[in-house]
Structure 1
Amino acid sequence: MTATEEIQSTVDGGVGKRSLGQRLIGANTFWIALVLVALIVVFSVLKPGQFATVFTFQTLLIETSVLLVLSVGMTFVIITSGIDLSVGSVLIFAGMVCGKTMEALSPGGNASAAGWGVIVVGLVVAVLSGTIWGLINGFLIAVAKIPPLIVTLGTMGAALGAAYLLNNGSDVRSVPTVLNKTLGYGTSFGGIPNLVLVAVVITLIGAWLLHTTKFGRYTYAVGSNAEAARRSGIGVTAHLLKVYLLTGFLAGIAGFMSLAYYASTTITAHTTDNLNAIAATVMGGTSLFGGIGSVLGTVIGVFIPAVLKKGFNITQVPDFWQMIAVGAVLIAAVWFDQRRRRQRNSR
């Protein structure tokens, strides 16, 4: 099989000829979805008056919104057979730059009374900050050919250190009240939180981009066989640069969303977001070896730890059991992925 035939087979067989149901089952998404449904049923039976409520599910949606945006970007990265350990730190940095900018533009340095003009500038600054870190990651990985693990491990520390330097190691706690009330806790369309709506829109765009566009097909192709993709005419270097740019861009948006919700940069609350995003993506069926994954699977993967945490809190199970359970699901997901690869390679 020539390089062109191989890459065409990857693209057509991976995203074109098979039905949606076949693709999801092949990526373990169906089975992970069953795990999520089972968890919801179990906790609903154990505590029907506390877990199976509108308030609980609304809280779950809000709490997972920021992580979901990060995980959408992580899905693209891992499908290319890469990794990004820096997204949590980039989120913190973007939120810090956004908060400091809004403070600087507000009278007396107090952003609480700032209006939408200042907020829009803060959003632009947050997105640009995240995108710049994505550009740095992409350049070092795609152009300088440094392994993604090393690059993003370095930028993880650099972005976090820069965020601490911007405000002498403390959080920014002056955030426009209108931003917190409108985006952070505001609702619309029958009580749906605005923060959730933003996450849903971004997720749908990410799914469209990955599953229906040339950009998505190239993402799968690069992750399946980068050399075959290059020989078939795909600009692998340029594409990897774009993927890491996208991840940084989404981390910037996530930083703005977090600032709106918590009304603070909450640095310590995001130090493990990178690992949570990777875990959610892998639990959703995206292969660490590249070439396989879906945004729908990532959505499911994001909710498994969230449901476990909420359910354990309601049933008064100690938090460390949640870590054990999430770890077990993550290991099982990787095991299934490796088993599937071995079966495919033995054919």
Structure 2
Amino acid sequence: MTAPSRPSSPQNAKAGGAPADGADARAGSPLTGLLGRLGTAQEVWIGLVLAVLLVGFSVLEPDSFATSFNLLNLVADAAILLLLAIGMTYVIISAGIDLSVGGLLVFSGVTATKTMEATGGTSTGSLLLGAAVAVLTGLAWGVLNGALVAYGRIPPLIVTLGTLGMSLGGALLITGGVDMRAPGRLNLGLGLDKFAGVPLIVWISVAVTLLLGVVLAQCRFGRHTYAIGSNIKAARNSGVQVNRHLVKVYGLAGLLAGLAGYLSLAKYGITGVSAHSTDNLQAIAAVVIGGTSLFGGAGTATGTVIGVFIPAVLQNGFQILGVKPFWQQVVVGAVLIAAVYLDQWRRKARDN
């Protein structure tokens, strides 16, 4: 899941190529070529940071942190955020932003719960219908975001901030501000069942991430996403249907938020109306820490995966060590600022 290879011409580099840092990592010495195949330079560095955190917490608390039970719980907790972050990766690479994903997650979970309640909630058909409603609800919100950004020419920050309020407000109106309980069969089944010792939720998240990572790195949809984020005018001149593509990108982010809402229901058993207010910021932080440029046109799914697990490991390790959870927010905020500064420094160095 690395970035696509370097285009053969300057025009293609702006219109449909991979991010320059990922391409440059493939050129030069055999060592840099090897690093290029493993990931971009920033992915290697943040991967080392993640490895240091894992080793450090394992040494400090070997009987608590470095256990299969704790590590499986850590991965399961990160699985839902990973879905939001992968969708956010596409949005940010296209030079956009989506502040609404937390609200869409909640609204999709609420509508899915209402649907399952209305259809019995115990049959397989009812659970599948709830899943379909959650995913389609998220997709509808995402398409609305994309249409307002692409055709309404409204800045994505304003659009998604507005739909964040609308979706959360709608969820509160439907539930009266009280969490709804998911059908027990969903929580006891999809929420707790495992395959090969790993929760089903994790397998679903991994499968979706792998698929979208390949699409981003190897398929036309991914190349067009990079092209729009790199140079939207050049993308139009190259024949990319920019408006239509942006609707698809935001629709994808909404769809994944809907899926995350359903998996959250399965894992926690309640809609969590007030529990996801910072999910959008966590997803953005994970994507940026993972090396995706806030200016668009650069980033990979591999980096996002690493970026998701850095704050997850910090939170888990701090809890085990008894450190106040506020310190996790301080550290993640500092890492986020450092990641943005590094991105700006790399852009200036590349331009010069």
TM norm structure 1 = 0.93
2 CA distance for matches of 1:66 and 1:242? 21
2 CA distance for matches of 1:153 and 1:12? 30
**Fraction of identical pairs, as percent:** 52
**Alignment correspondent of 2:56:** 42
1 CA distance for matches of 2:200 and 2:18? 38
**Alignment correspondent of 1:291:** 297
**Contact residue 92 and residue 267 of structure 1 kept, 8 A:** yes
1:25 Cα deviation (Å)? 5.5
Structure 1, residues 58-81: CA drift from partner, whole Å, max 9, x if none?
A: 000110111000100000000001
Structure 1, residues 163-187: CA drift from partner, whole Å, max 9, x if none?
A: 11111111111x2222212211110
Matched, 1:53 2:67: yes
Which consecutive residues of structure 1, in runs of 5 or more, have no partner in the other structure? none
Matched, 1:188 2:192: no
Residue in structure 2 matching 1:199, options 205, 223, 227: 205
**Contact residue 286 and residue 292 of structure 1 kept, 8 A:** yes
1:21 Cα deviation (Å)? 3.0
Relative to structure 1, the CA distance from residue 12 to residue 39 in structure 2 (aligned partners, 3 Å threshold; closer, same or farther) is: same
Residue in structure 2 matching 1:178, options 181, 185, 199: 185
Matched, 1:94 2:102: no
2 CA distance for matches of 1:12 and 1:230? 14
Residue in structure 1 matching 2:76, options 51, 55, 62: 62
Q: How does 1:251-270 map to 2 (within 5 A)?
A: 251-270=257-276
Letter of the 1:124 partner, please give it: A
Residue in structure 1 matching 2:150, options 142, 145, 150: 142
1:211 Cα deviation (Å)? 0.5
- The total of aligned residue pairs comes to 335
1:268 Cα deviation (Å)? 1.8
**Contact residue 39 and residue 302 of structure 2 kept, 8 A:** no
TM norm structure 2 = 0.92
Relative to structure 1, the CA distance from residue 12 to residue 240 in structure 2 (aligned partners, 3 Å threshold; closer, same or farther) is: closer
**Contact residue 32 and residue 301 of structure 1 kept, 8 A:** yes
**Contact residue 129 and residue 252 of structure 1 kept, 8 A:** yes
1 CA distance for matches of 2:179 and 2:208? 27
Q: How does 1:1-347 map to 2 (within 5 A)?
A: 6-10=10-14, 11-12=16-17, 14=19, 18=26, 21-22=35-36, 26=40, 28-106=42-120, 111=121, 114-173=122-181, 175-189=182-196, 191-346=197-352
Relative to structure 1, the CA distance from residue 24 to residue 337 in structure 2 (aligned partners, 3 Å threshold; closer, same or farther) is: farther
**Alignment correspondent of 2:29:** none
2 CA distance for matches of 1:120 and 1:13? 38
1:22 Cα deviation (Å)? 2.4
Letter of the 1:99 partner, please give it: T
SS in 1 for 2:211: helix
1 CA distance for matches of 2:324 and 2:303? 28
